[in-house]
A = this chain, B = another copy of it.
Amino acid sequence: MGISLSYEEFRRESIFFIVTGPSGVGKTTVMESLLEKDDRLTYSISHTTREARPDETHGEDYYFVGESEFEDLRDRDGFLEWAEIYGDYYGTSRKEVSAIREKGLDPFLDIDVQGAEQLRSDPELEAVFIFLAPPSLEELEQRITGRGAESPETIRKRLRVAEEEINRIREFDYLVVNEDLGETLDLLESVVKAERLKV
């Protein structure tokens, strides 16, 4: 059927997707389902100094590194963002993200709201920011409580933080309310598809 027109020149080569939202909103579940459905989306593995849990694998869930290694990388500006949380370091390495981009794939990161804000404020970083929000605070409370092992005080604190985070939605590009997993996945897939159609 003749020579196809090539529209490659109008397309972006790689798109960096960042999903953020309050703790307990379901970022990881949503992300895992989405990654399974889309071959171009590639999980960006973070660095951490915390110890691996029995079910976690180095180079798959995280890069588990020592403190001095982390600090060394950080001091050489090796992280797009990093934070210390309860005495452990967490960070997104520049090398990880650019390695995915160089393959023409789309890096995909799930990150807490503070980390997302750090990335957002980087003027050189081009990325699509999606805020995943709970349908209600009661629902979020249930999800946090359902995980167990959290004291009532920790839960109250998390909910206060969540409320503050919801007030910062305007800093991000897309807002998806995670009411139903199937619907949320459908909406996230729409965002991914639409971003890939952008000129």
A170, B1: Cβ atoms closer than 8 Å:
no
A193, B199: Cβ atoms closer than 8 Å:
no
A173, B187: Cβ atoms closer than 8 Å:
no
* Number of residues from A at the complex interface, CB < 8 A: 36
A138, B175: Cβ atoms closer than 8 Å:
no
Chain B residues lying within 8 Å of A134, measured Cβ to Cβ, are 5
A1, B138: Cβ atoms closer than 8 Å:
yes
By CB atoms of chain B within 10 A, which of A176, A189, A191, A199 has the most? A199
A137, B195: Cβ atoms closer than 8 Å:
no
Chain B residues lying within 8 Å of A127, measured Cβ to Cβ, are none
B198, A137: Cβ atoms closer than 8 Å:
no
Chain B residues lying within 8 Å of A187, measured Cβ to Cβ, are 193, 197
Judged by a CB distance under 8 angstroms, whether A182 is at the interface is no
B133, A5: Cβ atoms closer than 8 Å:
yes
| 23 pairs from A and B in contact (CB 8 Å cutoff) | A1-B135, A1-B138, A2-B136, A2-B138, A2-B139, A3-B137, A3-B138, A4-B135, A5-B133, A5-B134, A7-B133, A131-B199, A169-B199, A172-B199, A174-B198, A174-B199, A175-B199, A176-B197, A189-B190, A190-B191, A191-B193, A191-B194, A194-B194
